[in-house]
Amino acid sequence: MFAIARSELIQIFRNRLVLVTGLIVPVAISAYFVYQYEIFEDMAGLGYIAAIVMFTVMAFGLYTTAVTTLASRRQNLFLKRLRSTAAGDVDILTGLLLPVTVIALVQAVAILTVLGAVATEPSQIPLLAAAVLATLTMMVGLALATAGLTNSPEHAQVTTLPVSMSVIAVASWVGLTGTENLTLLKRLLPGGAATELVVNAWDGSVPVADSLILLVPTLGWVVVAVGLASRLFRWEPRR
């Protein structure tokens, strides 16, 4: 697994497209929100900024890059060759996705740390950490599912758009309007409960015990994504 991960990490830094979409774009967008935090804080609070930053990294840095990676490795038959080795399916997928997952996690933590340093620190850091990890797991699951519908790295630019745009749109909707109205709908949409959890963690306005229930919808999406991935994922190119 770690040999696969090391090889994949080298490939990431050799691929200019992945570097731009997976590293530069999320950091640039997040840096803008952090730099202009006073404006966005007046609109919806620091929790909203934190949620948007988190989903920007997870949608573009993790989800899109993971789908592109899996589609590319399938297209050049690398996935097929790996399955002929002693490595199991879980080890193969973990090795391929571990580098981009770790990079996205480091990016999210670093940007949220900077936001806390230049503005106000989150009130409930463990709750924020739980929100980040739950979101990361959800986006990895969705990446595996989407990769099953993606025939090539070029095709990934199309297949990843609905989920990427949707989670960011939901995060913006929930972050700006709250969950006082249409509560159930907002929490059940992918990214809605996670956004509310981040807002609560940063503001500290809701007790931790009351906020933990918000992990359930996000983890529910993990179950749905894994179920879809088990049905849709392919190890060889479609004929």
Tens digit of pLDDT for each residue in 3-41? 788 877 777 777 777 777 777 878 888 888 787 767 777
Tens digit of pLDDT for each residue in 113-124? 988 888 888 889
Position 238 scores a pLDDT of 66
Count the helix, strand and coil residues of the chain and give each as a percent rounded to the nearest 5.
80, 0, 20
Length of the chain: 239
Position 66 scores a pLDDT of 93
Cβ burial, residue 162 (10 Å; 0-12/13-18/19+): exposed
What is the residue extent of each domain of the chain?
2-232
Res. 200: pLDDT tops 70:
yes
Tens digit of pLDDT for each residue in 63-110? 999 999 999 888 888 888 888 787 788 889 999 999 999 999 999 999
pTM for this predicted structure: 0.91
Computed over every residue of the chain, the mean pLDDT equals 87
